[in-house]
Amino acid sequence: MISDEVKNRHRRLVDEISRHDKAYYVDAKPIISDREYDALYDELVELEKKYPELVTPDSPTQRVGGIPLKEFKPYKHDVPMLSLDNTYSPGEVMEFIQRVRRIIKDDEIEWVVEPKIDGVAVSLRYENGILKVGATRGDGETGDDITENIKTIKSVPLRIPVLSDDESQKEEIQSQVVKEKKNLVPEVVEIRGEVYMPIDGFEKLNKEQEELGEEKFANPRNAAAGSLKQLDPRIVAQRPLDTVFYGTGIIINELSRADIPQSQIELIEWLKKLGFKTPDKIWVCKSEQELLDAITELDKIRHSFRYETDGAVIKLNSFALRQQCGSTAKAPRWAIAYKYESQRAMTVLKDITVQVGRTGALTPVAELEPVELAGSVIRRATLHNEEEIRRKDIRIGDTVIIEKAGEVIPAVVGVVFEKRTGKENQFTFPRTCPECGSAVSKSSIIGEEGIIWRCVNEDCPAKIRGRIEHWCSRGAMDIEGVGEILVAQLIKAGMVKDVSDLYKLTVSDLERLERMGEKSASNVIKAIEESKNRDLWRLIHGLGILHVGAGVAKELSKHFQTLDDLMNATKEQINAIPEIGDVIAESIFQWFSNPKNKQLVERLRKAGLNFKSSLYKSELISKTEFTGKTFVLTGELDSIKRDEAQSKIETLGGKVSSSVSKKTNFVIAGKSPGSKYDKAKQLGIKILNEEEFLKMLKDAGAM
């Protein structure tokens, strides 16, 4: 029996930690130190360990979910999440205003202008103040239930607090609300807004992705969307996600005493009181000119926000007038988005240099007169390839336009031809490698269209540097202390020509290098020695095979027990892995067919590196109709639980995927199948009902 004292302490801890979360993550005004916060949190964790029955859905300990989900469940919105029509000029904005005025005869109309956050639209459903569901927009009618992922975002309240103007009465009101099972907010309310990734968090995440050898995200929105699609909430909890809220869906307020907002401005103030983050800046406009001025002002200040913005949202302030306007099937008639032009700047192209990567690819880079763009000073921009330079007629000395548009690296998008003087010089792409002087070639590279020049010399210093740096990187063999500077020294001294040479180094070898003492040298040799025991997937990734990142390397290690198994595999065997397509399979097969690469593998074997995979799952059964096939489950099954069905498929050598694609072999459809069923029909994938699936299991000896 839990004492009232323990129960009260638990509730006070939950309330206090939630209050501090709001102060830190929403208001940006922390009240206590990190150490004091950690002490409170640790006390709550220990209390819930001792008394598990105390755990409530709104406890801060429930922000990070447990085991990964199998798939996201569909969630049907009670009120559709409509998208906005776009405008691109002041004239189109005026046309929109006139359309509204034809519906509303009132002379005095108030407009609201808000930043258009470039994030992922979400809807949060609260019942009696407790967060029950977090869902994506989806098609507007049905989205994905991503509740466990939403809970990991600290600026999202797990419980809407009681509203009271008198703080001294708040605790008394709260206890009365709990006792009567009422709340001062509606019994049911959907709060709507955006999940986004702050620009600084995005840059940090991309740096980590690069260190791990993973593909970088193109922009903050992609990073936010990719994070919310993770089936493991523990991964989402590590991503720097944040929120902004500005709307509502369904509101059921029959028994509650909550005052429901009647305008957008009232709604924003209400959301703030409830503990939600709202847009940084909002304009209330009483005339068309004020509205156009607000759009212009927002464009000037939007780069100071923590999130990317690509436009302004214009809305009627009054909810009653919105009702008069109504909506089309896809968008409201009372709101519209004004899209700004991409973030651009004009500057002078001083020179074009060419970089050589670890695969030998020659990449042209624009060396620019420094210019400020989107809050940062830009000195270099990508030119992609030779064809791009020729197609855009880009010349050294040109005045050029560069664009960021949310991308990681600025790009040259065009030339200001009116500013040409005739003194500009055409750039001739080098036909020899800038690093080693060897010939370059556009010979066919797997997965490319023959537009990239590459150095043909496998002993090119740039290639060697790139390969060794990649091998030692955190995402590959993770050899601490061996970075860009040390690699350059080793190559210059002639100590290392390929990655296998690292394992021949001694402390005395390293001590001969500049700024390398005995202790530092010993630490490096120790790190190199420890790398011999890394798992197989790290070694595969470290080899630098074209198109093989860390994710592909892990998949290969699940299907091949040793490096020798992979090295001796046919293209067909590699391509049979669901996550690996023709291009990657061809690239892997060609790499291991190269005699020089085979010799490298033998040198690594002789050095004592681990060639075995800890991820490999041996097939303990003979081949069945399930072997190597991909299944997707949708709808409710009567005779077998979904987890059990998945387990049987995997035991029989099959794989269960959460989404339907061209590589799906079977879709098992139970009662009330969702959009996966429709997609399977479109793609012509075989659909099994429950009876057919059970028979298939029986024939395979699994029933």
Rounded to 10°, the helix 90-103/288-301 angle is 140
Please give the helix or strand (H or E) that residue 414 lies within, else none.
Answer: strand 411-415
Query: How many residues does the structure list for the chain?
Result: 703
Beta bridge partners of 378: 371
Angle at 141 between CA 197 and CA 155, to 5 degrees: 30
Identified catalytic residue from 116, 315, 648, 676 = 116
Indicate the SS3 state at residue 268.
Answer: helix
Verify whether residue 151 is a known catalytic residue.
Answer: no
Token pair listed for 49: 């360990």
How buried is residue 588: exposed, middle or buried, by Cβ count under 10 Å (0-12/13-18/19+)?
A: buried
Beta bridge partners of 354: 364
How buried is residue 264: exposed, middle or buried, by Cβ count under 10 Å (0-12/13-18/19+)?
A: buried
Contact 649, 631 (CB under 8 A): yes
CA-CA distance, 284 to 315, in Å (whole number)? 10
**CB within 8 A of 480, min separation 6: which ones?**
523, 527
Angle at 18 between CA 13 and CA 22, to 5 degrees: 150
Instruction: Tell me the HSE value of 435 on the side-chain side, using a 13 A CA sphere.
Output: 23
Strand 425-426, strand 395-396: pairing? antiparallel
* Cα–Cα distances in angstroms (integers) from residue 72 to residues 69, 227, 396, 570, 676, in the given order: 7, 13, 52, 36, 12
Angle at 674 between CA 668 and CA 679, to 5 degrees: 75
**CB within 8 A of 97, min separation 6: which ones?**
288, 291
Token pair listed for 99: 């359309």
Burial code of 498-519, b = ≥16 C-beta within 10 A, e = fewer?
A: bbbbbbebebebbeebeebeee
494: left (phi over 0), alpha (psi -120 to 50) or beta: left
Residue whose pair of structure tokens reads 């199948």 in the numeric block: 673
Reported in sequence order, the residue ranges of 229-331 that DSSP labels E, i.e. its strands, are 242-252, 283-285, 309-316
Contact 201, 217 (CB under 8 A): no
**CB within 8 A of 165, min separation 6: which ones?**
none
- Per DSSP, 108 falls in state -
Strand 120-127, strand 130-136: pairing? antiparallel
Q: What is the DSSP string of 592-609?
A: HHSHHHHHHHHHHHHTT-
Q: Which one, of 192, 183, 77, 189, lies nearest residue 126 by Cα?
A: 189
* Cα–Cα distances in angstroms (integers) from residue 396 to residues 325, 377, 409, 426, in the given order: 55, 20, 20, 6
Q: What is the DSSP string of 128-153?
A: TTEEEEEEE-TTSSEEEB-HHHHHT-
Contact 214, 475 (CB under 8 A): yes
Token pair listed for 401: 């336009």
Token pair listed for 598: 């085979």
CA-CA distance, 531 to 130, in Å (whole number)? 48
The catalytic residue positions are: 116
